[in-house]
Structure 1
Amino acid sequence: MSSVTRFAPSPNGLLHVGHALSAIIAHDTARRNGGRFLLRIEDIDLERRRPEFVTAIFEDLNWLGLNWEEPVLVQSEHFSDYLAAADRLIAMGLLYPCFATRKEIAEAADPAKMDPDGVPLYSGIWRGASAEAVGQRMAAGENPALRLNMDGALQALKTKRGSKPLTFIEVDDDGGQKTVTADPQLWGDAVIVRKEVPASYHLSVVVDDARQGVTHVTRGQDLLAATDLQRLLQELLDLPEPVYSHHRVIRWSNGRKLSKSNQDMGLRALRDEGATADDIRRVIFD
Structure 2
Amino acid sequence: MAAGAGHPPYRGRFAPSPTGALHFGSLIAALASYADARAHGGEWLVRMEDLDRTREIPGAADAILRTLNACGFRWDGPLVYQSRRTQAYAAALERLSERGLTYPCACSRTEIARLARDGSEGPIYPGTCRGGLPPGRLARSIRLRTYPGDIRFQDRIQGAQRQDVAAAVGDFVLRRADGIHAYQLAVVVDDAWQGIDQLVRGADLLASTPRQLLLQQSLGLRHPTYAHVPLAVDRAGRKLSKSLAAAPVDPADPLPALLCAWAWLGQRPPPAGCALSGFWRHAIRTWCCARVPAIACACIDPEASASIGT
Same fold per superposition (TM over 0.5): yes
Alignment of 1:165-244 (within 5 A): 166-172=151-157, 178-185=159-166, 186-244=168-226
Deviations 1:190-241 (A, max 9, x none): 1111121341110000100000000111111111110111101100100111
Residue aligned with 2:204, SS: helix
Residue aligned with 1:188, SS: coil
Contact 2:9 2:42 in 1 (8 A): yes
- The residue aligned with 1:99 is 106
Going from structure 1 to structure 2, the CA distance change for 1:70 and 1:42 (only over 3 Å counts) comes to: same
Q: CA deviation at 1:263?
A: 7.6
Aligned partner letter, 1:208: D
Structure 2 unpaired stretches of 5+: 1-7, 264-310
Q: CA deviation at 1:57?
A: 1.0
The 1-side partners of 2:217 and 2:182 are apart by 17
Aligned partner letter, 2:261: I
Going from structure 1 to structure 2, the CA distance change for 1:262 and 1:85 (only over 3 Å counts) comes to: farther
Indicate whether 1:281 and 2:258 are aligned.
yes
Contact 1:13 1:260 in 2 (8 A): no
- The residue aligned with 2:85 is 78
The 1-side partners of 2:9 and 2:97 are apart by 36
Indicate whether 1:129 and 2:106 are aligned.
no
Contact 1:182 1:227 in 2 (8 A): no
The 1-side partners of 2:12 and 2:97 are apart by 30
Contact 1:96 1:127 in 2 (8 A): yes
Cα-Cα RMSD: 2.2
Indicate whether 1:8 and 2:15 are aligned.
yes
- The residue aligned with 1:35 is 42
Structure 1 unpaired stretches of 5+: 159-164
- The residue aligned with 1:144 is 140
Going from structure 1 to structure 2, the CA distance change for 1:261 and 1:148 (only over 3 Å counts) comes to: farther
- The residue aligned with 1:162 is none
Alignment of 1:151-162 (within 5 A): 151=147
The 2-side partners of 1:124 and 1:263 are apart by 41
Q: Tell me how many residue pairs correspond in the alignment.
A: 255
Q: CA deviation at 1:99?
A: 2.0
Alignment of 1:258-269 (within 5 A): 258-259=240-241, 264-267=246-249
The 2-side partners of 1:108 and 1:100 are apart by 10
Q: CA deviation at 1:70?
A: 3.0
Residue aligned with 2:47, SS: strand
Aligned partner letter, 2:126: S
Residue aligned with 1:246, SS: strand
Q: CA deviation at 1:29?
A: 1.2
The 1-side partners of 2:255 and 2:240 are apart by 20
Residue aligned with 1:150, SS: coil
Q: CA deviation at 1:55?
A: 0.6
Percent identity between the two aligned chains: 36
Residue aligned with 2:124, SS: coil
Going from structure 1 to structure 2, the CA distance change for 1:20 and 1:124 (only over 3 Å counts) comes to: same
Aligned partner letter, 2:155: E
Contact 1:42 1:74 in 2 (8 A): yes
Residue aligned with 2:200, SS: strand
The 2-side partners of 1:262 and 1:237 are apart by 41
Deviations 1:149-173 (A, max 9, x none): 213xx5xxx8xxxxxx643231129
Contact 1:15 1:260 in 2 (8 A): no
TM-score under structure 1 length normalisation: 0.82
